[in-house]
Structure formats: C-alpha cells, structure tokens
Structure 1
C-alpha cells in the first residue's frame, strides 16, 4: 500500500499488488475506486489490454468487490475501472488476518502452506491479506474448513466473491 499524490486537500492511497498471479511483459495498470469504503482509496489492478478500453484482470483483487481474475473490465478516461463486461467464472477467496491476534503469524504460515500444497494461485498483501483464485470447478471446501475455527476465534475474517 502506498500513498500517492495529494489533490487539493485529499490524498490518494493506492493498494498495490507486489506479485500478481498473471504478471506478464505487456501488463497495463488501471485503478479501481474504493472511495465508497475509504475516501481517497484505490486499488491498482494489473491487467492485459484487449482493446482500447477493455482489459482482462491479471491479479487477484484484495478489496475490489465483484471483480475476479480474468474478468474483462472497461475503464473511463482516468484509467479507473468503470464496469465488468464479461465474467470469467473465477471466484476469489479473501482472508484478512486480525492484526493484533496472538496467532496471526502461525495462521499466515498455515494458510500459506495450505494454498501452496493445493497449488491454488494466490497473492498476499503485507502478510495480512490473502486472495486465492478459485478457477471454475475448484472446490474450496478444504480451505474453508481450515478457516472456520480461526474465524470463530476472532483471528481472521474471510469471504468468497464472484
């Protein structure tokens, strides 16, 4: 996450992807506006340009709801995502570890091991936020089972977005 330029009195905070799963030599970056949840926030999305204003998402959105890996989106004149025009069928499982929880580091290791062993494409943000790609036909039951007990203990929050 980084703070960007200040426009007037409002600064822009941009959530970035350090290691997007679809990184390639011809990626383009667009932004998704998150100001409906946090004023001045945006998420930088790695994409592949398909046409002048159509882009295929090449990362796992951490905070941009309704957008998943390989979805096709359009942008406006400011390179802000304006609409999802084609869904890919992928879903995103998101996990947010609770910062002050005593088991946070152990949960990070446990979850990282589970997604790696299951060979599920995933991205981490600051070691606290996990996004996992659920390609069409992927059954997340084993991962969801591992999340239920820590969620009940207040150590994490999780959701699946499509």
Structure 2
C-alpha cells in the first residue's frame, strides 16, 4: 500500500511474508535508489546478533535487502546498515496499465503457489517474490514471459544494487 502525506510517499507491507507475534518496523529512505520522497516500511524481528533485526517482509523498492537479511536500525527507527545477508533474493515484477487481454497475474499467482514461494503484492500491479533457490524459478519466468516480451510487464532483481542508507 502506498500513501502520500505532505509530499512524502510511504510504502507499507499489508501482509508481510513472515509476520511474528512480536514485530518491529523501521523505515528505509529510498532516496539512495533514485526514489526521492519515498520511504518503505519494513517488518522486522529481533535477531541473535547484538542490535540486529531480521527482515520479515519482501522489499518492494529497497535494493540490496531480502527476506531473512539482518539489519541494524537507528534510534530514529530507520534501517542504517546491512549486517548479514540471508542468501535469498527478491524478484520484482511490475505490471503496466492498461492491462492486456492476456493478463498473466493469475497465472503468476498460481506458479508462485505451485513451487511454494512466498510473495507480497503492493496493490495489484507490483509483486515482490522471495527467491530462496534460483533453480525453482522457471515456472515463474514462464508465467510472465509473454507480457515481458510485449512490454506490459517489467522485472528486476532486488539485489541489482547494493543496500545504502541515506
């Protein structure tokens, strides 16, 4: 979900992939990723590392972070550094408007479920998919191949850039 208040767009995760009984949230300033005026709220839980927090959602916009990564948050509740990578990746797919007759979103949802992956949707056009093992991804790629070829969907890896704080 995205909400704009006083010129700042806040991106939140309505249904985090791994919600726990005790959760924390912290903001990531997206300015270092050329998204000035945007903040993404990530769900966290305390990690074993002193002062570390494990990411419990799949980032929609923040680069260099994935489900299970351990981060450090500041007293101002912002994520200021990556402590340890989980080894997971994030695949993001953006569907354009208007939608074509051959809309592949339902096929993608089925493919994600059939291979047992976790995903989170931001509205009905942007999906972030947790990738613990690249070898299971072929059904996902196949499900959106036509739309990517036609330019009605675009994809990127969430680790295409390293995490940076503002």
**Pairwise TM-score range, normalised by the shorter structure:** 0.7 to 0.9
Q: For the residues of structure 2 that align with 1:158 and 1:137, how far apart are their CA atoms? A: 15
Aligned length: 156
Q: CA RMSD in A?
A: 1.8
- Report if aligned partners of 1:147, 1:158 keep a CA contact under 8 Å in 2: no
**2:79 is matched with which residue?**
81
Any unmatched runs of 5+ in structure 2?
A: 160-166
| Structure number with higher strand proportion | 1
Matched, 1:43 2:44: no
The 5 A counterparts of 1:115-126 are 115-126=112-123
Cα distance per residue 1:20-57 (max 9 Å; x no partner)? 11111101000111123232210010010236642100
**1:61 is matched with which residue?**
59
**2:147 is matched with which residue?**
150
Q: How far is the alpha carbon of 1:126 from its aligned partner?
A: 0.3
- Give the TM-score normalised by structure 2: 0.85
Change over 3 Å in CA distance of 1:74–1:155 after alignment to 2 = same
Any unmatched runs of 5+ in structure 1?
A: none
Equivalent of residue 25 in structure 1, options 4, 21, 24: 21
- Report if aligned partners of 2:62, 2:158 keep a CA contact under 8 Å in 1: no
Change over 3 Å in CA distance of 1:76–1:152 after alignment to 2 = same
Q: For the residues of structure 2 that align with 1:124 and 1:18, how far apart are their CA atoms? A: 9
Q: How far is the alpha carbon of 1:72 from its aligned partner?
A: 0.4
> Which consecutive segments of 4 or more residues in structure 1 shift more than 6 A?
none
**1:92 is matched with which residue?**
90
